[in-house]
A = this chain, B = another copy of it.
């Protein structure tokens, strides 16, 4: 995939744009409750919209079929709710204070509220998926929920492991990120009754796209300026989470330099030390290397699209790959 000016997400979402307001409404319908605290947290959390990537993928998957059913809208909403539940729990785990430039649920309320509201969202998402009455969608979703959780537990276990292997890293991100994106496309495709080879192609596309998406996300932790993100630069590393750029760098360093970086990271990096580390990553082309790995995945994702004839939906999925490689936030 050569150089190309990437489209904005809004442009990419154009073919499914008209359905997104319905999904947003469905999210709030699914989460409606007389419980005041729950509904206060829900209103707060969903006020700031994320990228709505998971609903968009469900809609893209379904759009290869004849029409977008009510079940598709509900599934898109459910997957955004499920994703939100994991974000709320992640923010407890990372003791994060900001998400989308607003205080996290654990910061604005407390971690108790965050645990329970996360559980509430989780339950409601599963309930909505169950209401589709589509066994394949339900089973696929439940399996993926387990896989996502598994990936997060693996990540937690490998915290501060400076000997983390690339293979383990790829295994973790496949579980914690890519599996859910694959399930979004698969669910949409299943609900739209696509032929099995198209369902599988979309699922694989989602998986490879998800790998690239997470690798770039991890690279961005070392790139750009602080305030652009609504998150802190080097945050993963400060939390002990080793990602591809650092794994690559460590593989290239001799033992003494490795030990030096390890001890520095352990005692908490200040701004100057973080700048040093970023310079070292650049010197050893560890970010380039990582971006190249992401590109390998987008190449594989692109191949999966070849089972589909040209269409605006296919073009959007293609554009999504360029978007991921070029995104800077």
- Residues on A facing B (Cβ under 8 Å): 33, 35-38, 89, 92-93, 111-113, 115-120, 122-124, 126-127, 130, 138-139, 142-143, 145-146, 149-150, 152-154, 156-157
- Listed from nearest, the 3 A-B pairs whose CB atoms lie closest are A37-B157, A93-B112, A123-B145
Closest to A40 in B: B157
A148 to chain B, nearest CB (A): 9
In the complex, chain B residues whose CB is within 8 Å of the CB of A36? 157
Distance in Å: Cβ of A41 to nearest Cβ of chain B: 9
Pairwise interchain contact A143-B117, C-beta atoms closer than 8 A: no
Question: How long is the Cα–Cα vector from A122 to B89 in the complex, in angstroms?
Answer: 14
B112 touching A126, Cβ below 8 Å:
no
Check if B130 sits within 8 Å of A146, measured CB to CB.
Answer: no
- Given the known inter-chain contacts A126-B126, A142-B126, please indicate yes or no for A149 contacting B119, CB distance below 8 A: yes
Instruction: Among A37, A93, A116, find the residue whose CB has the most chain B CB atoms closer than 10 A.
Output: A116
Minimum C-beta distance from A106 to chain B (A):
10
Complex Cα distance, B35 from A150, in Å, reads 7
Let me know if B116 and A156 touch, CB within 8 A: yes
30 example contacts (A-B, Cβ-Cβ < 8 A) are as follows A35-B150, A35-B153, A36-B157, A37-B156, A89-B115, A89-B116, A89-B119, A92-B111, A92-B112, A92-B115, A113-B156, A115-B115, A116-B149, A116-B152, A116-B153, A119-B119, A119-B149, A120-B150, A122-B122, A123-B142, A123-B145, A123-B146, A124-B146, A126-B126, A126-B142, A126-B145, A127-B142, A127-B143, A130-B138, A130-B139
Instruction: Give the docked Cα–Cα distance between A139 and B38 (Å).
Output: 22
| 17 new A-B contacts at CB < 8 Å, known A92-B115, A116-B149 | A33-B150, A35-B154, A35-B157, A36-B157, A89-B115, A93-B112, A93-B115, A112-B156, A116-B152, A119-B122, A119-B149, A120-B150, A120-B153, A126-B142, A127-B143, A127-B146, A130-B138
Enumerate chain B residues within 8 angstroms of A127, measured Cβ to Cβ: 142-143, 146
Name the one of B120, B138, B149, B157 contacting A123, with C-beta atoms under 8 angstroms.
B149
- Least distance between A95 CB and chain B CB atoms (Å): 9
Point out the residues of chain B lying under 8 angstroms from A149, CB to CB: 116, 119-120, 123
Which of chain B's residues have a CB closer than 8 A to the CB of A122? Answer: 119, 122
